[in-house]
Amino acid sequence: MLYREAGQFKSTYASDMVVFRLKEDRAGLAVIILMAYALAFMGSDFLLQAVLIPFLVFALAAIGLNLLTGYAGQLSLGTGAFMGVGAYACYKLMTAFPDINVIVWILVSGFFSAAVGTLFGLPSLRIKGFYLAVATLAAQFFLQWCFIRIPWLVNYNVSGALDAPLRTLFGVPVVGATATPQTRYIVVLTLVIVLTWVASNLVRGRIGRMWIAVRDMDLAAELMGIRLLQTKLLAFAVSSYYCGVAGALMVFLWYGGAEYDVFNINQSFFILFMVIIGGLGSLIGSFFGAALIFIMPILLGIVLPIMLAPFGIAIGAETIEHLRFMIVGALIIFFLIVEPHGLARLWQIGKQKLLVWPFPY
Amino acid sequence: MSLRSLSLGLVVATLLGGAALPAAAQDSIYVPLFTYRTGPFAGSGTYIADGMHDYLEMLNQRDGGIGGVKLVIEECETGYDTKKGVECYEAVKGKNPVIVNPWSTGITLPLIPRAAVDKIPILSMAYGLSASARGDIFPWVFNPPSTYWDGMSMIIKFIGEKEGGLDKLKGKKVGFLHLDASFGKEPIPLLEELAKELGFEAKLYPVAAQDMQNQSSQWLSVRRDRPDYMIMWGWGSMNGGAIKEAVRSGYPMDKFLSVWWPSEDDARSGGAGAKGFKMLNWHGVGATYPALQDIMKNVVDKGLSKTSKDKVGELLYNRGVYNSLLIAEAIANAQKLTGKKVVSGEDVRRGMETINLDAARLKALGLEGFTDSIALSCTDHNGHRPAFMQEWDGSKWTKISDPIEPMGDRVRAQLEAAAKDYAEKNAGWPKRTETCDKAS
Amino acid sequence: MDVLYKVLIEPFVFMGEAPDLLLQTLWEGLVSGVLYALIALGFVLIFKASGVFNFAQGIMVVFAALTLVGLYEKGVPALLALVLAGAVMLLLAFAVERIILRPLVNQPDIILFMATFGLTYLLIGLGELIFGGSPKEMITGALYLPQGTTELTLLGGPVRFQHLDIAAAIIASIIIAILAVFFSKTRIGRALRAVADSHKAALSVGISLNQIWVIVWFAAGIVALVAGIMWGARSGVSFSLQIIALKALPVLILGGFTSIPGAIIGGLIVGIGEKIGEFYWGPLLGGGIDTWLAYVIALLFLLYRPQGLFGERIIERI
């Protein structure tokens, strides 16, 4: 009843074309963003550090992969490695030039991963579908091997791992052990909001339309005058940029130090899950997917023991883990059967229904 | 319905209000155990988890905890996955844990900088960052009883003795089969330094984590290079895989040595051919020690443990017991130092630094002869204790050497460089401000 | 110049100097190739008949082997356990058809691919719940699989042949032969080929898709069981075996997703290629290159033939 299109008149083309056409949508978004910032002060350390920061990082990586797979139609299994490139580039940059703000380096590091992503995107001109997916696995394993084998990447650290030296923003530590979860969360949140905004404009513009044309049928797109090579490579570059930034955020603002192993193949699959479950070709779907795939297992870990306790079943930590796996697996299948187009589609249907509620005719 | 709303309410409450699960009761000490009974490393992790849990549970059952305070033992399943490990850390952080033991180098690394901030000591027993042996730089991290550099130097010394002197190593070839991760790569600098000095040739055979069970390439290379000795730094299914492949490719087993991580299962998987396989170890095997008998009586027989009876006393089970022995001793020391019954992480850090397990103390704990004495201090968080070599005789481990002293000066030099390096790279690494206690 | 010498000449000189090692490397590569091909075969069977890229093949290998060993440990005689493990795979095939494939019929490939991820998670959880996470030993002896080694002196040096490897190669060949006969001679086999050609046309001549799906998933389950026994005998049965299934992916793209001979030839190329590469050129890069070498080999082939060596030609129309 409160959510109505009626009565909102658009008098210019621009106002008719905006992302959020309804003032309720705009208000809703503002409330969500405000609440997200408010959580920084209300949430517990556990909520911020173990739930929200990783959620945002994964959402950003999922947006990156979604640009490539959902919008441009190129299946990639190298996400984890591209995230790694971002993290290692950021580490090299921030240790080589410690005077420049770390936020700058996090954003710049994405360009390195974009370059690497473009390189491994080259076969996409010739190879399609699952064949391409397996080809990107080459990137995954090769880059992972590089991370271990090139000690220069970690400044010849004996531990062979990335560590997070202290870096500040306006005198407040953002990277390093003394950075509070609040600061980290606010920084990650801001970056994710800005980058999501950029992505949403990108996919609505000329570039995004080119990607969609290529995805729907590349031969037809080519006949229409879209240059396949440039378009596909651009998709790889932009996608890897997002993944690279997400990787840098992951290591420096979430873990605060990590081994190469966090960029392994499972990470790539993990993010692909998020994209597909959330909805291919939908930015908000990336957030839903990240929430479902990352937060749900954590919730299950908390809920299951509580649910089972009244029946006198005390289950061990490992049984919970098994049940978590099974439930996540079952839910993936369930959601695919209920709505193969992902959670974003459910969200859209829900909004559509709400628009006409309570008189659906 | 009420159940669902109740649990939902609880979830929301936990997420918003901090992880306020029932553990933080006032009259108990909360000891979280990070374990992995799932995932690719479960084969090693399960026994360790059982050993750690059972010893602490035994203290609860037999003595009513430590110093009369019950221990709340809670396992958090990490699956050896850094992501889940960090999640576990955040989940237990709010419940006043007195110590964490990550049991994975990958999980230890992100936790090291946080330890000082959150005031939670880390016990990474003979794994993790070797440099953290330096208490003056890493006051919150403990990695007794030996570092990987100690281990490597002991193995080289052992080989030297077998050959009749370290100088006899000249011209020999030593292969180093390692997990291709920071854990496996750590001893390489020392190995290469010793190789240069003693004139032997070091050959490296890295095994990627995804190829732990598919090592035929590495062993082909071993056949090509024909190293005189093989040293292994592996974990989880890599150890069993390597022993099998060594048997398959006919490598002489008595020249195959390992750091302290293989288990009976790994050796057993090699069948009769695995006879002669050697590994370092620093504690006893078997369940004959009085404390282990107490575990049998008070925990296993009462059905409070997940272990099966025949696994009690196996190598990795006892490794878990040793880990818990250190925790319990640190808590007891902390109680003595502070006079408090319910101690905190800060107190246990002090308790850890004053650990002094000599023969008499071990005897009092029912673990006479279980392990060598160990004493930690404010500067030395490791102890650099000697370990002995044991050999697989086809069905069990037998001790075949006296404790081998590590090459102290070399390890110190490595430590020095590594710790300095770490502090330098992490600009603003805090200076130690924690005061130093006299051993009690 | 020195680098060029090391890359281009030295390995070949070494091959000539020690032909026995070359032979051994080729043999090891051959055996790995056959074992990769066995895993890849499971993928191909399902992809051919239902167009599903079955990511769960890897965990099916582990699950089948675990069931076999788990039953044996519970006291079931080995051969009965083998039959029962087969029955479990049949049950799984029915469940997959009923619960996953039927509701998802006509969905895009990637959705079905994703559904098999869900299946993977489900099977990991279920497997660990029932059989526990710790690795188990394959019951090689009870299944009458040969053990031991024959050492022959060939080309001036000892070359070792594991009896188990020889058995693996023979059993794999038998399985492949059976599948080939099955596909070309039997009624069901012909129906399978019809389905692979076109679902709609097959339906219109009265072939039941549901039945065919159960059959191919069951066949893939049996292939998984055999692969599980062979890999398990080599390196123990544990959940990390699942990762080895990823090695089957370059085999697949090399051979083409739809070709059974392709899976075998691809397996051999990958197996031998990665062993030779690691053995002769690996040391130049510090070793361990076989983690990605297979993919690079496959990628190079793909640039020539985007549909793999034996894949069906991709014809594009607007």
Domains of chain C: 2-304 (1.10.3470)
B207 with B269, same domain? yes
Mean pLDDT over each residue of chain B, to the nearest integer: 85
State whether residue A123 sits within 8 Å of chain C by CB.
yes
In whole angstroms, what is the distance from residue C140 CA to residue B296 CA?
34
B176 with B93, same domain? no
- Using CA of residue A240, residue A246, residue A249, residue A250, what is the dihedral sign? negative
H or E segment to which residue C151 belongs: strand C149-154
SS3 state of residue C154: strand
Q: What is the pLDDT of residues C80-130, one digit of tens each?
A: 999 999 999 999 999 998 988 888 887 888 888 889 989 998 998 898 888
In this prediction, residues B165-188 reach a mean pLDDT of 88
Tell which residue, A193, A170, A168, A188, has the closest CA to residue A179.
A168
Contact C111 A336 (CB under 8 A): yes
> What is the Cβ-side half-sphere exposure of residue C67, based on CA atoms within 13 angstroms?
28
- Which among A59-63, B416-420, C162-166, C241-245 has the top mean pLDDT? A59-63
Tell whether the model's pLDDT for residue B19 goes beyond 90: no
Tell which residue, C252, C251, C258, has the closest CA to residue C273.
C251
Residue B97 has φ and ψ, to the nearest 5°, of: -70, 145
Name the percent of chain C lying above pLDDT 90.
16
Best mutation target among C238, C280, C285 (most B Cβ atoms within 10 Å) is C238
Asked if B373 contacts B359 with a C-beta cutoff of 8 angstroms, the reply is yes
Q: Tally C-beta pairs within 8 A across B and C.
A: 115
In this prediction, residues B419-433 reach a mean pLDDT of 76
Q: Do the domain assignments include residue B422?
A: no
Q: How many contiguous H segments (helices) and E segments (strands) does chain C have?
A: 14, 2
CA distance B276 to chain A (A): 32
CA distance C191 to chain B (A): 37
In this prediction, residues C287-304 reach a mean pLDDT of 82
Angle between helices A181-204 and A23-42 (to 10 degrees): 160
B161 with B35, same domain? no
Tell which residue, C228, C294, C196, has the closest CA to residue C61.
C228
B142 with B209, same domain? no
Contact C108 A223 (CB under 8 A): no
Q: What is the pLDDT of residues B88-118, one digit of tens each?
A: 898 888 888 999 999 888 888 888 888 888 8
Which has more pLDDT, A253 or C286?
A253
Contact B220 C25 (CB under 8 A): yes
- Residues, chain B, total? 440
Contact B130 A310 (CB under 8 A): no
Lowest mean pLDDT among A91-95, B116-120, B289-293, C9-13: C9-13
The whole-number pLDDT of residue B2 equals: 46
The whole-number pLDDT of residue C59 equals: 92
Q: Where are the alpha helices (DSSP H) in C157-205?
A: 163-185, 187-197, 199-204
pLDDT-derived band at B25 (thresholds 50, 70, 90) equals very low
Q: Which chains, if any, share at least 3 CB pairs under 8 A with chain C?
A: A, B
Q: Which tokens is A15 given? A: 């106002």
Contact B40 C32 (CB under 8 A): no
Mean pLDDT over each residue of chain C, to the nearest integer: 85
Please report the residues numbered 61 through 100 in chain C whose beta carbons come closer than 8 angstroms to any beta carbon of chain A: 99-100
pLDDT-derived band at B24 (thresholds 50, 70, 90) equals very low
pLDDT-derived band at B9 (thresholds 50, 70, 90) equals low
Q: What is the pLDDT of residues C161-207, one digit of tens each?
A: 888 888 888 998 898 888 888 887 888 888 888 887 777 888 888 88
Asked if C210 contacts C191 with a C-beta cutoff of 8 angstroms, the reply is no
B316 with B267, same domain? no
Lowest mean pLDDT among A230-234, C77-81, C247-251, C270-274: C247-251
In this prediction, residues B348-361 reach a mean pLDDT of 90
B259 with B207, same domain? yes
Q: What is the count of structural domains for chain B? A: 2
SS3 state of residue A73: coil
Tell whether the model's pLDDT for residue C60 goes beyond 90: yes
Q: Tally C-beta pairs within 8 A across A and C.
A: 134
Tell whether the model's pLDDT for residue B10 goes beyond 80: no
Best mutation target among B46, B48, B213, B226 (most C Cβ atoms within 10 Å) is B213
H or E segment to which residue A228 belongs: helix A228-249
Q: Which tokens is C99 given? A: 């619960």
Contact C128 B212 (CB under 8 A): no
Asked if C25 contacts C279 with a C-beta cutoff of 8 angstroms, the reply is yes
User: Which CATH number is B229's domain given?
Assistant: 3.40.50.2300
Which parts of chain A have pLDDT scores under 50?
A: none
Q: Which tokens is B42 given? A: 């479960």
Q: Do the domain assignments include residue B298?
A: yes
Lowest mean pLDDT among A220-229, B114-123, C9-18: C9-18
B202 with B290, same domain? no
Which residues contact residue B406 at a Cβ distance below 8 angstroms, ignoring those fewer than 6 apart? B146, B149, B150, B151, B153, B154, B157, B384, B386
B195 with B270, same domain? yes
The amino acid at B169: L
> Using CB atoms, which residue from C28, C239, C287 is nearest to B216?
C28
B215 with B354, same domain? no
CA angle C46, C48, C52 (to 5 degrees): 50
CA distance C250 to chain A (A): 7
Q: Which domain holds residue B336?
A: 27-146+285-385
In this prediction, residues C18-22 reach a mean pLDDT of 83
Nearest CA in chain A to B76: A317
Asked if B100 contacts B123 with a C-beta cutoff of 8 angstroms, the reply is yes
H or E segment to which residue C150 belongs: strand C149-154
Contact B39 C290 (CB under 8 A): no
- SS3 for chain B is CHHHHHHHHHHHHHHHHCCCCCCCCCCEEEEEEEECCCCCCHHHHHHHHHHHHHHHHHHHHHHCCECCEEEEEEEEECCCCHHHHHHHHHHHHCCCECCECCCCHHHHHHHHHHHHHHCCCEECCCCCCHHHHECCCCCCEECCCCCHHHHHHHHHHHHHHHHCCHHHHCCCEEEEEEECCHHHHCCHHHHHHHHHHHCCEEEEEEECHHHCCCCHHHHHHHHHHCCCEEEEECCCHHHHHHHHHHHHCCCCHHHEEECCCCCHHHHHCCHHHHCCCEEEECECCCCCCHHHHHHHHHHHCCCCCCCCHHHCCCHHHHHHHHHHHHHHHHHHHHHHHHCCCCCCHHHHHHHHHCCEECHHHHHHCCCCCCECCEECCCCECCCCCCEEEEEECCCCEEECCCCECCCHHHHHHHHHHHHHHHHHHCCCCCCCCCCCCCCC
In whole angstroms, what is the distance from residue A266 CA to residue A85 CA?
16
The whole-number pLDDT of residue B152 equals: 92
Residue B320 has φ and ψ, to the nearest 5°, of: -65, -40
Q: Which tokens is B35 given? A: 């374990």
Asked if C37 contacts C249 with a C-beta cutoff of 8 angstroms, the reply is no
Contact C111 A220 (CB under 8 A): no
CA distance A302 to chain B (A): 7
Best mutation target among B33, B34, B87 (most A Cβ atoms within 10 Å) is B87
Name the percent of chain B lying above pLDDT 70.
93
The whole-number pLDDT of residue B213 equals: 81
Tell whether the model's pLDDT for residue B369 goes beyond 60: yes
The whole-number pLDDT of residue B130 equals: 83
Tell whether the model's pLDDT for residue B248 goes beyond 60: yes
Residue C21 has φ and ψ, to the nearest 5°, of: -70, -35
The whole-number pLDDT of residue A155 equals: 80
Q: What is the pLDDT of residues B320-345, one digit of tens each?
A: 999 999 999 999 999 988 888 889 88
Asked if B327 contacts B101 with a C-beta cutoff of 8 angstroms, the reply is yes
In this prediction, residues C258-285 reach a mean pLDDT of 86
Tell whether the model's pLDDT for residue C15 goes beyond 90: no
The whole-number pLDDT of residue B230 equals: 93
> Using CB atoms, which residue from A44, A49, A318 is nearest to B38?
A318
Tell which residue, A124, A139, A120, has the closest CA to residue A75.
A124
Asked if C49 contacts C216 with a C-beta cutoff of 8 angstroms, the reply is yes
Residues in B touching A176 (Cβ below 8 Å): 113, 426, 428
Q: Do the domain assignments include residue B433?
A: no
CA distance A305 to chain B (A): 10
CA distance C86 to chain B (A): 24
Residues in B touching A318 (Cβ below 8 Å): 35, 37-38, 75, 77
B177 with B273, same domain? yes
